[in-house]
Amino acid sequence: MQVTTGTVVDGKVVVEGVPLVEGPVVAVLSRQPDVPFALSAEDEAELLEAIAEIERGEFVTPEALLESLSKYD
């Protein structure tokens, strides 16, 4: 996994830095141009760990989440 930044140009994200390989699905976080976006080292580590958990299959499916929430209706 890698973290990089980019800019939207003509409706497409143009990535800065190391080029991405073709094919993988990516997540895009968008912010307003005048609002800075920064993660502390602790927040970045937490985000990377959460992504690693998902990659290991350690997550709740949407169906399982909805089923568990239905118990509180």
The confidence score (pLDDT) of residue 56 equals 94
Give pTM, 2 decimals.
0.46
The contacts of residue 28 (CB under 8 Å, 6+ apart) are 13
Q: CB-based burial of residue 41 (10 Å sphere; 0-12 exposed, 13-18 middle, 19+ buried)?
A: exposed
Report the percent of the chain where pLDDT is more than 90: 15
Per-residue pLDDT of 31-66, as tens digits, reads 777 777 788 899 989 988 998 998 999 988 888 888
